[in-house]
Structure 1
């Protein structure tokens, strides 16, 4: 269907203030132009989402003590097993020494008890108790040694330090977060989709992820819809995985997922060609002589790929300027002559 043309906007009411300030500046080159054509585009359902890391871990303290050595900070790349920080382990070391002493005493007592049992001076119950005491002392010594090793916090995976939760000299306690590390090669966006959209979403195997602030679009590597809904919000969680080479994306970023649910023939215009003044949208269209003319248009939602659907004001074959600033300056200069 060919969109109906909308009335031309009076030029003197729509020339931006910046064009007045730039009056008299000559443009060395003509603005870039695109010829509009109807094309088959993806139909999509947009949903707000948040970026998260697939592999992320928070290292927590397992022993109490003061932090005496910090070797990392937010933004730093680390390797799995690399030391991140150390906790004062003197108390734990004393515990290890005490456990080892008790183990030595229990072993000596067991040897004496066994010797007496072999000579028939004591009963088997006494030997069993000595053996149990030896096993208990060995377990206590092993536990103390493990606690001493927990004084050194290491990276659980290779990646980037997202946040360091403690500073040098602070007290650590069991369970207190120390450092959060994530793998930048495994990112995904999490979106909540209402129940009434679930039927169409189940068949969506492709998606595009938009980052509105930067204008970046990324093709998703995989779409995963969880099998259950939230009983309170009646929404289903969709996980959209990004490719490993997605640059400039970090956990916590806001994004918009466009789930591809079909294809249709539409007339679209690049977003950089659009001039917006409040609720009015317009583009510079070149006339038969090649001169730019500002024309009001009615636009729909962005299709998967970033271009805007044209509802009215433009037709296939129209030549639209991709550099409205240059076109506006040219119009202003022509009006001043």
Structure 2
């Protein structure tokens, strides 16, 4: 039977798509290295793995990982359990135990020397010798530098000779005056001669006193040519060079006393009643990782700064190793309250809800809500005053979405 052109075209339109379906269906089969078709189980595992890699972690889980409450491995376990259809909330357990807990006041400040003394030249002269450099340790009255003393030394020597001459003259006039007194008593000398003798004696005494003061002044100037340390400590500034001409009252050195060191911190007025002079303080610095230093409160200013609302508190610290240095930025940690035998749990176990504070106990696979009263808080630990007993097993992670009596699975 012959087909019309229209019938032939319809038949071709049916056959061609069918052939293409069969061809691509055969090409799309998975085969292993031996050319065999992969089993359905392998395809399922591959799809599951691919789906797990592409799955996005919920924002709440990401936040928990970021805050360090759970590790990435634990997050993957939670994700895997969700993918497997688990319906019990995952939690981590801990134990209520006794231990020491403290409250701290953390402040920042800068290390300062107890004393910083500027040294000044006392006269005008050229610098002859620089004896001590920056960083040198000095004692009180140690020589820091010497000034040229040539002219002053000559004047000092002349004054010394003049003083000796005045002393000899005074002794001679004194002896003459004593003899004249005896002669006067025996009426062997006139009143006029005796008065002249007495005047010469007084004049020689005044001359001796004048020469003495002049000699002392030159001796003092000679001593000023040696610039000395006014206090014991370290040289932190040298502002002169050999050959410089210094003038009177010119700043030439700075000496600082590092024993002890001081740290001035500013405490909010609301916290000042927690502090007392003598309280211990721990000092640390980012520039000295792992090192802590012990100090104590030396002074508490009785006045509150009106603009900042703070009170200046001075911390004293002794560091014989000289590791702490003036100018160093430090953190000061002051213990304001301490409990040695407190019942302590992790802070993550405590839930604050409207009018109560809750902790979930773990009993027979269930989360049991327990109202508690909290006391001192230190970093990531909280003191429980009432509501728990020592040794109670509690939920320390995963409690945020729990309800009283719900069954839970323990995250390992």
TM above 0.5: yes
Structure 1 gaps of 5+ residues are 1-5, 15-34, 270-301, 319-337
Cα distance, 1:195 vs. partner? Answer: 4.2
Structure 1 residues 166, 228: closer, same or farther in 2, change over 3 A?
farther
Are 1:45 and 2:98 matched, yes or no? no
Structure 2 gaps of 5+ residues are 1-58, 68-93, 181-193, 349-376, 383-394, 399-412
TM (norm. structure 1) is: 0.60
Are 1:188 and 2:262 matched, yes or no? yes
Are 1:90 and 2:90 matched, yes or no? no
Cα distance, 1:250 vs. partner? Answer: 0.9
**Contact residue 221 and residue 243 of structure 1 kept, 8 A:** yes
**Contact residue 95 and residue 345 of structure 2 kept, 8 A:** no
Report the Cα distance in structure 2 between the residues aligned to 1:134 and 1:104, rounded to whole angstroms: 9
Cα distance, 1:179 vs. partner? Answer: 2.4
Q: Tell me which residue corresponds to 2:129.
A: 69
Q: Tell me which residue corresponds to 2:251.
A: 177
Stretch deviating more after TM superposition (85-94 or 116-125): 116-125
Q: Residues 147-178 of structure 1, C-alpha deviation per residue, up to 9 Å, x if partnerless?
A: 21221224455543222122222222233232
> Aligned with 1:144: secondary structure?
helix
Higher helix residue share:
2
Structure 1 residues 192, 165: closer, same or farther in 2, change over 3 A?
farther
Structure 1 residues 136, 83: closer, same or farther in 2, change over 3 A?
same
**Contact residue 218 and residue 246 of structure 1 kept, 8 A:** no
User: Larger relative contact order (C-alpha < 8 A, sep ≥ 6)?
Assistant: 1
CA RMSD for the aligned pairs?
4.0
Are 1:137 and 2:211 matched, yes or no? yes
Are 1:221 and 2:221 matched, yes or no? no
Q: What is the aligned residue count? A: 254
Greater radius of gyration (CA): 2
Structure 1 residues 309, 127: closer, same or farther in 2, change over 3 A?
farther
Report the Cα distance in structure 2 between the residues aligned to 1:73 and 1:79, rounded to whole angstroms: 14
Are 1:252 and 2:305 matched, yes or no? no
Q: Tell me which residue corresponds to 2:61.
A: 8
Cα distance, 1:205 vs. partner? Answer: 1.0
